[in-house]
Amino acid sequence: METLWLMPALACYVISAMIFVASRFFGRTRASGWATMLLGAGVVLHALDLTARGLQAGTIPVANFAESLSFLAWLTALAGLMIIVRRQMAVIGAYIASAVALALAVSAVMMHGARLVIPETLRSAWMPVHVTLAILGYSMFVLAASTSIVYLVCESRLKTKRAIATPDDPVPSLEKLDRINYSLLAWGFSLLSFAIISGAIWADATWGHFWSWEPVESWSLAIWIMYAGLLESRLTAGWRGRRAAALTIVVFVVLIGSFVGINLMYPGKHGGSFG
């Protein structure tokens, strides 16, 4: 299904990413305000696209991997926009907008000419609950990885005695970035936990068993264990700062690999809808 809103939303994300990157590279930090507004415009247009697809499908539009990727891009853009505005963290805009633009571009290519079909087994009140929790949890992990990249970049600049901020573009301290990273990880982990629980209840109601150990479920559990270990290491072993940021990025790479690889090759009963 084609809508009038997808391409304009993608254009806003792409231009926003370009301005964010250029503003950091050339020191034109005041341009970040325009990039933020374009990111917000992309979120609104993208929401209209998802709404149109949802009305046509009669439920949340995540019938396949491409649509799930689009939904993930929108939730990430929305959550990222809130952090940029509320916490005055335009510094992460280049990473958030770029990731969102790339995800939506891939989604748009895969959805071109495709028909939106929701399998009958997925038409349940549990579907929007389970999928939204899972993908919103993933969006928190995207933001945590972006914050970790900013942390590592800022730490590297400090070590080489290079400026990391200007009067009109303040950058949060490393301590604040570390706290934000932990908060995002905790939110993502909680949301993923509730997603797994709701998925198990839905599976029992639909197929008569809570767990089937298919690839999507197994990798979701593996990702959950990895993030649980990452949070535990912060609480008990005191792994913070550079080490925590690096581990956040490593686990996120594993998450992306499983989300893309498993959903494309071995979606199982999930039909490629979510990871």
List the structure tokens of 245.
């940021």
More confident residue, 175 or 101: 101
Q: Extract the tokens encoding 48.
A: 């209209």
Q: Are 54 and 150 members of one domain?
A: no
Given a cut of 80, is residue 230 above it in pLDDT?
yes
Kindly state whether residues 96 and 55 are assigned to the same domain: yes
| Same domain for 174 and 76 | no
Q: Are residues 151 and 273 in the same domain?
A: yes
User: How many folded domains does the chain comprise?
Assistant: 2
| Residues 53 and 153 grouped into a single domain | no
pLDDT surpasses 70 at 166: no
4/90 same-domain check: yes
CA distance 62 to 54: 9
pLDDT of residue 19: 93
Are the C-beta atoms of residues 69 and 106 closer than 8 Å to each other? Answer: yes
Whole-angstrom Cα distance, residue 38 to residue 34? 6
pLDDT of residue 274: 40
Task: Note the pLDDT tens digit of each residue in 26-70.
Answer: 766 677 889 999 999 999 999 999 999 888 877 788 878 888 899
Q: Are residues 103 and 133 in the same domain?
A: no
Task: Answer yes or no: do 169 and 37 share one domain.
Answer: no
Q: Last residue of some domain: 78, 93, 118?
A: 118
Please report which confidence band the pLDDT of residue 124 belongs to, taking 50, 70 and 90 as the band edges.
confident
Domain stop point among 73, 101, 118: 118
112-121, 193-202, 205-214, range with the lowest pLDDT:
112-121
All residues at 6 or more sequence positions from 274 whose CB lies less than 8 Å from its CB, including other chains: 62, 68, 130, 131, 134, 135, 216, 263
Assess whether 201 and 172 both reside in one domain. yes
Give me the pLDDT at residue 273, please: 42
The answer on 270 and 152 residing in a single domain is yes
Tell me: do 234 and 128 sit in the same domain. Answer: yes
- Of 62, 85, 118, the position where a domain reaches its end is 118
Global pTM? 0.87
Range of the domain at 13: 1-118
- For residue 23, pLDDT beyond 70: yes
Q: Are residues 180 and 259 in the same domain?
A: yes
